[in-house]
């Protein structure tokens, strides 16, 4: 069950409700900030669709490949993108469905190429044997735009043990 609880949190879901009181937002003009927020919302749709299709490879297509650890999940650091992808793939095995309901979320635009996302909600998963469970989660994401597209640089997610 713990294996699947981590997958719930890791499979992402980035619904965005944007608030303008951001630490670095004053340095980013409002029209540019709105454009950034829209781009992150569009990325969220891709991430959530991949997660809800249980497609770890499609999900990680949007995770920047760097030398820094991309994921902290329930206190466990995934030291490489490959290790994080393997953990997500493993966690999704045995699931037939997953969905996300966000209760709160927020974007802070730090610069024209960096944004911070903080959110909480509930993920519901259905196991291959038909059992269904729901787990709360919280997440913090660092999103960057190294070139033309936004990507996930780092995610820190936690889900209480159920």
Kindly report, residue by residue over 129-142, the tens digit of the pLDDT: 999 999 999 989 99
Q: What is d(CA 96, CA 53) in angstroms, rounded to the nearest whole number?
A: 9
- Interacting residues of 108 by C-beta distance below 8 A, sequence separation 6+: 22, 23, 24, 25, 115, 116, 117, 118
pLDDT at residue 74 in the model: 75
pTM score of the predicted model: 0.78
Q: What is d(CA 79, CA 64) in angstroms, rounded to the nearest whole number?
A: 13
DSSP state of 25: G
For residue 61, the tally of other CB atoms under 10 A from its CB is: 12
Residues 9 and 157 sit within 8 Å (Cβ to Cβ): yes
Q: Which token pair is 129? A: 């044997």
pLDDT at residue 48 in the model: 84
pLDDT at residue 26 in the model: 57
Structural domains of the chain, ranges and CATH numbers in brackets: 2-158 (3.10.450.50)
Q: Which token pair is 9? A: 């949190």
Q: Which token pair is 107? A: 């974007």
Q: Is the pLDDT of residue 60 over 70?
A: yes
Q: What is d(CA 9, CA 74) in angstroms, rounded to the nearest whole number?
A: 9
Residues 24 and 109 sit within 8 Å (Cβ to Cβ): yes
């Amino acid at each position: 069950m713990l294996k699947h609880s981590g997958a719930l949190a890791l499979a992402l879901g980035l619904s965005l409700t944007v608030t303008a009181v951001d630490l670095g937002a004053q340095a980013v003009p409002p029209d540019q900030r709105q454009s950034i927020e829209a781009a992150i919302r569009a990325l969220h749709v891709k991430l959530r669709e991949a997660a809800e299709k249980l497609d770890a490879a499609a999900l990680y297509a949007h995770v920047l490949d760097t030398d820094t650890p991309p994921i902290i999940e329930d206190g466990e650091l995934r030291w490489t993108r490959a290790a994080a992808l393997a953990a997500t793939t493993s966690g999704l095995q045995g699931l037939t469905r997953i969905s996300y309901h966000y209760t709160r979320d927020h974007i802070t635009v730090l610069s024209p190429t960096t944004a911070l996302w903080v959110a909480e909600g509930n993920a519901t998963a259905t196991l291959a044997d038909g059992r269904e469970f729901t787990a709360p989660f919280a997440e913090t994401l660092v999103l960057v735009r190294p070139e033309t597209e936004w990507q996930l640089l780092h995610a820190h997610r936690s889900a209480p043990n159920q």
